[in-house]
Amino acid sequence: MRRYFLAAVVFFLGAGLLPGPAREAGAAISLEKCTLCHGKPEFRKLLVDGHIRELYVTADSLKGSVHEKKACTDCHFDVAEIPHRERPKRVACTHCHFKGNKEGAPQSDNVLAYFDSAHGQAIARGNPKAPLCQDCHGSHGINKAKTADSKVSRFHVAETCGRCHMEIYAQYKTSIHGVMLAKGIGDVPSCPGCHGEHRIFKHTDPQSSVFATKVSEQCSKCHSSIAIMSKFGIDVEPAATYKESFHGVASQFGSRTVANCSSCHGIHDIRPPDDPLSMVNPKNVPATCGKCHPGASANFAVGKMHVDAKKKDSGIIYWTATFFKWLTIGTMLALIVHIFLDMYGRTRRLRGEQ
């Protein structure tokens, strides 16, 4: 084995010294040559920061992935000689993944969306920790999001985001959405459900799908859908009553400080109201309201929060609204009748006077 390896090194060093055309012929390096080194399980590198980079790659690494027919140098195209003298650059997926490519990659502009996003902008500013394509999609075992074991599939993507966003992932996992996802229920949102896929922005950026004024819209995508909510016995009414409330109206007109869904229900730590840790558990409501309205009492938390004056189960509010509605209609009709009677009497009076 070792002899073959040495022979190969000698052969390729020689090839490097050969004039142009002969070198070109050797440029398409076959898998077997790469695995001469990379095929050893112990092939790894100790980085200056103490991390270990696994460099073990075999013929099976691409198997089953969308790139299984690709050769190493299709992506690592800067490797033209073996062993490569310089460390190969990170793979640029944009080599094939752009709209109009002829390589057979999906025709999509996702890469442009990524460059606009918070992640792409961080990369552009030179942040070495910001993710590139392969940080989320994986390197060799890339699969379409619809494939169950893809790193960006419905059930795995939160874990993938959580590799960097650890605290948020921990919160999410204990939230109702995270718990349900872990139970294999695909209706609940994972990270992209609210934040988007490639077009991810900071929540303080007005372009973000979770910008203060857009949160209720984002939650309503599911929480106003009877088809989805009926599966879990959740009322769709709050989505509509919020829109009609003081908070909802102010939010629709662009207020960023007014309460949206997550101001009261939580962000990544949303829990059902009967959970004692829930922000909207009756026990916690005074404190939750008190974030903006200091002094909200325990008394305030009594009763229903999302009230629709047009529905009978709102009790006294419904009856008051109904009373006023008919009072207004009745007054209007009575006044109109009065006007007509008055005019009729008036003409009689005028006739009498003449």
The residues that touch another protein, with contacts defined as CB under 8 A, are 246, 249-250, 252-255, 289, 293-297, 299-305, 307, 309, 314-317, 320-321, 324-325, 327-328, 331-332, 335-336, 338-339, 341-346, 348-350
Which amino acid makes up residue 2? R
Least distance in Å: CB of 269 to another protein? 23
Nearer to another protein, 182 or 249 (CB): 249
Contact 236, 223 (CB under 8 A): yes
Closest approach of another protein to the CB of residue 194, in Å = 25
Nearest approach, Cβ of residue 312 and another protein (Å): 14
How many whole angstroms separate alpha carbon 175 and alpha carbon 65?
32
Q: Quote the radius of gyration of the chain (alpha carbons, Å).
A: 32
Q: How far is the CB of 313 from another protein (least distance, A)?
A: 12
Is the Cβ of residue 277 or residue 339 nearer to another protein in the bound state? 339
CA dist., res. 241 & res. 305, Å (int): 9
Size of the chain in residues: 354
Contact (CB, 8 A) for 239 and 216 = yes
Least separation in angstroms between residue 257's CB and another protein is 9
Residue 96 has which token pair?
Answer: 């094939």
**CA dist list (Å): 194 to 158, 191, 227, 343:** 12, 6, 19, 63
Least distance to another protein, CB of residue 206, Å: 15
- Closer to another protein by Cβ: residue 95 or 325: 325
Which residue's CB is nearer to another protein, number 110 or number 255?
255
In whole angstroms, give the CA distance from residue 96 to residue 100: 9
Closest to another protein by CB, 29 vs 279, is 279
Direct distance between the N- and C-terminal alpha carbons of the chain, in angstroms, rounded to an integer: 130
Choose between 239 and 289: whose C-beta lies nearer to another protein.
289
CA distance 347 to 97: 85
d(CA 164, CA 144): 21
